């Protein structure tokens, strides 16, 4: 079976005041369908840059990214946008919810981009919010929700188009420890239902709840390891 993600000798170099900053240096990574993989490392290690390249939100300086066997380098901008919209869901540290829209309307936005009819997208958005435990909060706007609730809305929105890959960039970074554990438990639940998840974190306790941990430092993968099975509910 073709891996859902493959990167080959991936480099990303940013220019700052005429100086080249190497954010990634020859990264090779494979993610199989159905895995829950954590990319862990300190700030500046390149983990978020790697996530953005895999999600076709940025392009590498050199090297290639393959998503479901498709080379992103060989696609036009429009083709990459189409692939990203239909195959990748994003969850961000800052939630990225529209403040004037309800939880239901925030989830509906992703379905609207897929040109789903209004009655059907409202039904599907409600089902997604029920799936993440927010059936009684779907009419609330983000300012009326807790941080954990907002992140659950963001996860529901990311799953709206049934993407093959869910990318989560520091999904617990703005949350307290207890709420963060709830969000990771939700991502594990989503993964157990067949969703491939790649998450970025600097927290070893969060990372060790994944199937596999990819540890990064200075733009390179230092090691990969398999945590002990997690028996927490």
Is it the case that residue 197 has pLDDT exceeding 90? Answer: yes
Instruction: Provide φ and ψ at 72, rounded to 5°.
Output: -65, -30
pLDDT for the residue numbered 85: 86
Quick one: pLDDT at residue 233? 43
| pTM (predicted TM-score) | 0.93
**pLDDT band at residue 230 using 50, 70 and 90 as cut-offs:** low
Per the prediction, the chain carries an average pLDDT of: 93
Q: Which domains occur in the chain, in start order?
A: 34-48+76-225 (3.40.50.300)
Region 167-185 average pLDDT:
94
What is the CA 136 to chain-centroid distance, rounded?
Answer: 25
Cβ neighbours for 11, distance < 8 A, ≥ 6 positions apart: 22, 24, 25, 26, 27, 60, 61, 62, 63
Q: What is Dmax (Cα atoms) for the chain?
A: 53
A 10 A CB-CB count for 100 gives 10
Q: What is the average per-residue pLDDT within 221-227?
A: 96
Task: State how far the Cα of 46 lies from the Cα of 231, in Å rounded to an integer.
Answer: 30
Tell me the per-residue pLDDT of 69-81, one tens digit each, with 9 for 90 and over: 999 999 999 999 8
Distance of alpha carbon 114 from alpha carbon 40, whole angstroms: 32
* Each residue's pLDDT tens digit, 87-106: 999 999 999 999 999 999 99
Q: What is the pLDDT of residues 138-149, one digit of tens each?
A: 999 999 999 999
- Residue 232 in this model has a pLDDT that exceeds 60: no
Return the minimum-mean-pLDDT range out of 52-66, 161-175, 218-232. Answer: 218-232
């Amino acid at each position: 079976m073709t891996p859902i993600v493959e990167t080959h000798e991936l480099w990303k170099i940013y220019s700052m005041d005429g100086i080249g900053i190497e954010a990634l240096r020859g990264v090779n990574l494979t993610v199989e369908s159905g895995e829950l993989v954590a990319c862990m490392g300190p700030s500046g290690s390149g983990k978020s840059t790697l996530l953005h390249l895999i999600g076709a939100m940025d392009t590498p300086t050199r090297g290639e990214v393959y998503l479901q066997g498709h080379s992103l380098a060989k696609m036009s901008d429009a083709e990459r946008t189409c692939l990203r919209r239909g195959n990748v869901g994003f969850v961000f540290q800052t939630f990225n919810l529209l403040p004037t829209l309800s939880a239901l309307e925030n989830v509906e936005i992703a379905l609207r981009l897929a040109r789903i009819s209004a009655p059907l997208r409202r039904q599907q958005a409600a089902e997604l919010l029920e799936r993440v435990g927010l059936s009684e909060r779907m009419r609330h706007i983000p300012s009326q929700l807790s941080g954990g609730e907002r992140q659950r809305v963001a996860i529901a929105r990311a799953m709206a188009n049934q993407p093959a890959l869910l990318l989560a960039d520091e999904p617990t970074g703005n949350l307290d420890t207890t709420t963060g554990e709830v969000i990771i438990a939700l991502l594990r639940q989503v993964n157990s239902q067949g969703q491939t998840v790649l998450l970025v974190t600097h927290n070893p306790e969060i990372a060790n709840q994944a199937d596999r941990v990819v540890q990064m430092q200075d733009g390179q993968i230092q090691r990969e390891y398999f945590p002990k099975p997690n028996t927490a509910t």
